[in-house]
Structure 1
């Protein structure tokens, strides 16, 4: 099939967005290709369609487990065979997946860059008939990028394995310095580069100063109809803001990394189907989310860097209609952000302490631990060793980026099961409960010792092999537990740790300490850019964002600066007319007038004082303004 036919067959679109077709043509022609497309620009299609046009399998390197799972699920729903090598999978399971990749007519193999560090996996990958290498989130390969992961440098091994196979690198956020570094690290000196403007001309970027952020957010939600996202700092704030919005008559739900998969899916579905208007979320929310009709994105705290802010605010207006992205800032936010993002940065001494404590916590001896997986509760760990939670969290995330270990913060459950019923009785149970038989048989086949001792169950694997949903697998084990057929235990955990190398304490930390210094310096510089952006409405906000990414532009005309500039040029006379017109309809306080006129309080108050002094308006006991009839 042609590219257009594949697009129509699997994606149900009649035409490509610019410059998708040109990128696809470049890849099909066998050229190395670098694509810089803004959030929502349709990056995945640019490698998926060329891969479907050629015999063989496409290797996709991606840093995020959740994103890989989302892509595999999306492709599978289209009838396209795809698999992912993610963290926490046992060697036997990985081997089976690689067999499927080689013999099962699969078109896509997703894997994390850390997987390329495992020699036997690399050897197995060499045997695949690869038609394309896709590097997603390619900015991670650059030490100047906002999410540098040294493990991305392992992608150079793929170039050695498959020297004639083209590489496509994709990213949504990269400065000119990062683009140059990507090309160098991936040996793409002759690459075709496609870059469209980062400008989102339908998004009005706003910077608003307010102490009462909830009140300000509610006012915006009243002014802007449609679906919205409010980004908050932590899990606790998710629940609090969602509850407060609900109590103010605004249907809301929430999303953070600590929710179970079931709760995430439920909350997401309610929001996607417009049963809940507002999604209150941490930055764990966003990857793979493509809801076109989001009209308003509000950040109520300063983001860590402008790359994240651009991506998160860019979830507004993907249908091309006018939308708003607003950052609400209080005077204390700069100091709060410095405490949140800079004071928690670990130094080498602290990092070493965390790593040694972590190994001791799991009972890992020196020289051991390679490829071992552990359930982990961060708060319990920090309490045991009297460690600050946020600084410890940053340390574990850094070790994750350095591929020393994988630190997954998704809520999950560790499940163990043992059959206590004799084999003959189990056969009788199957004959009487035939709908349960596929799951029971897969438990027996996958875990030969399940009669003798309790074994840890890979629920997703049993579900896949039996053709049943995960919820049904869990429900059956619980039922058999209550019937006395087996022993079922489930222990919740808020994280999983997988060690990618043996414990070597000082040697391990010395190897990565140089990267730690670089990363800390980079984070300070990035936060400084955020603070400058949030310092005031003294220039076009869209222009400031584009300038950060090395793109020149003119004033957008719709951001908070451009709108205030336009109002200032209109003068206080027009503001007077607006106030008087509003007060002919009802009494209003200063907040209501500020919102209705979309004017800053510093501009509004002098006009109100002038109208009060002239006796044109009055102030009631409840601090609302009224029009005085003469």
Structure 2
């Protein structure tokens, strides 16, 4: 079956888009391939189609657990055998999944980068017939990238186990330097890159200089009364902003990595299904989220890199309709961004002091501690030794890069369950609902020893076995705990610290150039690029972003704040465009609310001015808050 036939049969699309076909034919020919595709460019098609065309199994490495679960469910619904392995799964379930891959019952196996280093995966991999390996979010392997993840470095080791298997690397954000680094670190046999333009013609990039960010944000959300994302830097700020918007009559909620999994799922679902209009979030939100009708993404705080900004802003307008990405900026942001450099790369002497204090905290003597793992209550640590959490966390991250410790800031610690009733009493219970019985049955069928001691359980797996969703399962486990049938300890995100080698004296901690100076230099460049973008009112915003990612041949977008400002002295052309857009809007003979006028053009003030002029000239009529043809 041809690639096009597979596309028709399983996805129903008439043809491939952009560079999809080029990438598919390259990996299909057994060549190591790097695909650069913007958010919404259809990355999944580039590995799912050739996976079905080639004999064997495609290994898909991705850090996005929510995305892998959604894609596996979607593929299975289409009749495509797919599976996933991620942190928190029960060992028996992992073994069964890997055995199915060996026996050829699976075409695509999604796996998190942390799991590929496990002995069980590496042993089973040797017995699989692998067609190719896909590396999603491939920029995470580059130490020059904005989102480097050490676990990605294990992929090079995996290639040694299956040396003749090609690799397909995919990313939506990579500078020219990172593009080269990805290919080097993945061991490409030869350079092979396919680039799709990152230009988003339907997305207007806007920087709003304002001293009152809250007021400007409210103005924007009232002018564009549709689905929106507001990005903040801190967890506390997400709650404050969401509550402020709610008080202003704007439907909003907040989201960050510290929320309980069930709460995060519920809020994401509420927003995804339009029960909530605005989600105020940290950068923990958005990866793998596919909501095409987001009309505006607002950054109330500046991100630390243009890579992060481009990816987050790119979540607007994925349906191809006119949308906005707005960065709110003022004089304080410059100072805040500069301070971020000091917080992210504190002095070496400070890092050595944190290493010493860590040993005091856990009472680890010189020459001992290797392999020991501890829960790390960072607030208690900082209170004890008078550290600021942001700086202390940065110091621990640098110590991890230097190889002294492992520092997991958001570990997916598994939930634990223990039955409080004995087996006979449990079977005599007749007051449980059908759903509660399903959960109890799933626990008994899949986990042993829960009557004598606590056992680690995977809520998602229980939900799957019980035929429920994760939110239902979580609440049922809580209720069973309240009824004193089980004791349920939910999973938590307390950071973990593990000593990779015996403790040494703090003064002997060595931070070489590749760990500290080189990475600091890259971070400073990224911060500088954000400041330059926000302050540069001469060059088109879209061109600035595209140039950063290596696209030199691009034209002015004609819709960002910079392009529109160039016509301020003689705005007849843009006024004519707005007038034409307004007449086209009313051509259907229906009444349209005045807020729709503001969405016609990113120069909202000028659009309102043109509308008022046309009303005075009786070219259009206004009835209350609605416009119509005369």
Aligned residue for 2:493?
Answer: 494
Aligned residue for 1:228?
Answer: 228
Aligned residue for 2:125?
Answer: 125
Aligned residue for 1:266?
Answer: 266
Deviations 1:99-146 (A, max 9, x none): 343347222333344444445542332222111111112222333222
Aligned residue for 1:316?
Answer: 316
Q: For 1:67-106, list aligned pairs within 5 A.
A: 67-87=67-87, 94-103=94-103, 105-106=105-106
Q: 1:82 to 1:511 in 2, by over 3 A?
A: farther
Q: 1:462 to 1:537 in 2, by over 3 A?
A: same
Aligned residue for 1:568?
Answer: 569
Aligned residue for 2:521?
Answer: 521
Would the aligned equivalents of 2:447 and 2:455 in 1 still touch at CA under 8 Å? Answer: yes
Deviation at 1:455, TM superposition (A): 3.5
Deviations 1:14-60 (A, max 9, x none): 33221212211222222221100112111122112211222322122
CA distance in structure 2 between the aligned counterparts of 1:58 and 1:208, rounded to whole angstroms:
45
CA distance in structure 2 between the aligned counterparts of 1:228 and 1:568, rounded to whole angstroms:
32
CA distance in structure 2 between the aligned counterparts of 1:303 and 1:139, rounded to whole angstroms:
17
Q: For 1:251-400, list aligned pairs within 5 A.
A: 251-351=251-351, 353-354=353-354, 370=371, 377-397=377-397
Q: 1:190 to 1:494 in 2, by over 3 A?
A: closer
Aligned residue for 1:200?
Answer: 200
Q: 1:467 to 1:317 in 2, by over 3 A?
A: closer
| Structure 2 SS opposite 1:495 | coil
Moved more, 224-233 or 101-110: 101-110
CA distance in structure 2 between the aligned counterparts of 1:7 and 1:505, rounded to whole angstroms:
58
Aligned residue for 1:620?
Answer: none
Deviation at 1:235, TM superposition (A): 1.4
Q: 1:401 to 1:432 in 2, by over 3 A?
A: same
CA distance in structure 2 between the aligned counterparts of 1:369 and 1:468, rounded to whole angstroms:
42
Would the aligned equivalents of 1:352 and 1:505 in 2 still touch at CA under 8 Å? Answer: no
| Structure 1 SS opposite 2:569 | helix
Moved more, 274-283 or 202-211: 274-283
CA distance in structure 1 between the aligned counterparts of 2:511 and 2:71, rounded to whole angstroms:
33
Moved more, 55-64 or 165-174: 55-64
1:559 aligns with 2:560: yes
Aligned residue for 2:628?
Answer: none
CA distance in structure 2 between the aligned counterparts of 1:458 and 1:321, rounded to whole angstroms:
40
CA distance in structure 2 between the aligned counterparts of 1:91 and 1:346, rounded to whole angstroms:
40
Aligned residue for 1:213?
Answer: 213
| Structure 2 SS opposite 1:265 | helix
1:240 aligns with 2:240: yes
Q: 1:177 to 1:514 in 2, by over 3 A?
A: closer
Moved more, 325-334 or 189-198: 189-198
CA distance in structure 1 between the aligned counterparts of 2:375 and 2:75, rounded to whole angstroms:
30
Moved more, 273-282 or 527-536: 273-282
Aligned residue for 1:622?
Answer: none
| Structure 2 SS opposite 1:567 | coil
- What TM-score results when the alignment is normalised by the length of structure 2? 0.81
CA distance in structure 2 between the aligned counterparts of 1:343 and 1:478, rounded to whole angstroms:
39
| Structure 1 SS opposite 2:168 | strand
Would the aligned equivalents of 2:398 and 2:515 in 1 still touch at CA under 8 Å? Answer: no
Q: 1:509 to 1:124 in 2, by over 3 A?
A: farther
Deviation at 1:393, TM superposition (A): 2.9
Q: 1:194 to 1:474 in 2, by over 3 A?
A: closer
Moved more, 102-111 or 354-363: 354-363
Aligned residue for 1:426?
Answer: 426
Q: 1:192 to 1:121 in 2, by over 3 A?
A: same
Deviation at 1:237, TM superposition (A): 1.5
CA distance in structure 1 between the aligned counterparts of 2:322 and 2:49, rounded to whole angstroms:
30
Q: 1:309 to 1:419 in 2, by over 3 A?
A: closer
Aligned residue for 1:52?
Answer: 52
Aligned residue for 1:605?
Answer: none
Aligned length in residues = 580
Moved more, 149-158 or 198-207: 149-158
| Structure 1 SS opposite 2:529 | helix
| Structure 1 SS opposite 2:463 | helix
Aligned residue for 1:596?
Answer: 605
Q: 1:159 to 1:386 in 2, by over 3 A?
A: same
Q: For 1:459-470, list aligned pairs within 5 A.
A: 459-470=459-470
CA distance in structure 2 between the aligned counterparts of 1:560 and 1:104, rounded to whole angstroms:
55
| Structure 1 SS opposite 2:31 | coil
Moved more, 76-85 or 188-197: 76-85
Deviation at 1:83, TM superposition (A): 3.7
Would the aligned equivalents of 2:57 and 2:104 in 1 still touch at CA under 8 Å? Answer: no
Deviation at 1:546, TM superposition (A): 1.2
Deviation at 1:360, TM superposition (A): 6.8
Would the aligned equivalents of 1:205 and 1:542 in 2 still touch at CA under 8 Å? Answer: yes
Would the aligned equivalents of 1:375 and 1:493 in 2 still touch at CA under 8 Å? Answer: no
Would the aligned equivalents of 1:348 and 1:513 in 2 still touch at CA under 8 Å? Answer: no
CA distance in structure 1 between the aligned counterparts of 2:497 and 2:81, rounded to whole angstroms:
27
Would the aligned equivalents of 1:6 and 1:49 in 2 still touch at CA under 8 Å? Answer: yes
Moved more, 240-249 or 336-345: 336-345
Q: For 1:105-144, list aligned pairs within 5 A.
A: 105-119=105-119, 121-144=121-144
- What TM-score results when the alignment is normalised by the length of structure 1? 0.81
Moved more, 131-140 or 443-452: 443-452
1:32 aligns with 2:32: yes
Would the aligned equivalents of 2:348 and 2:511 in 1 still touch at CA under 8 Å? Answer: no
Q: For 1:452-491, list aligned pairs within 5 A.
A: 452-486=452-486, 488-490=487-489
Deviations 1:126-175 (A, max 9, x none): 22211111111222233322223344333222332223222111111112
CA distance in structure 2 between the aligned counterparts of 1:278 and 1:325, rounded to whole angstroms:
14
CA distance in structure 2 between the aligned counterparts of 1:49 and 1:408, rounded to whole angstroms:
36
CA distance in structure 2 between the aligned counterparts of 1:399 and 1:348, rounded to whole angstroms:
10
**Cα RMSD over matched residues?**
3.7
Unaligned runs of 5+ in 1: 579-584, 586-593, 600-630
Unaligned runs of 5+ in 2: 580-593, 595-602, 609-630
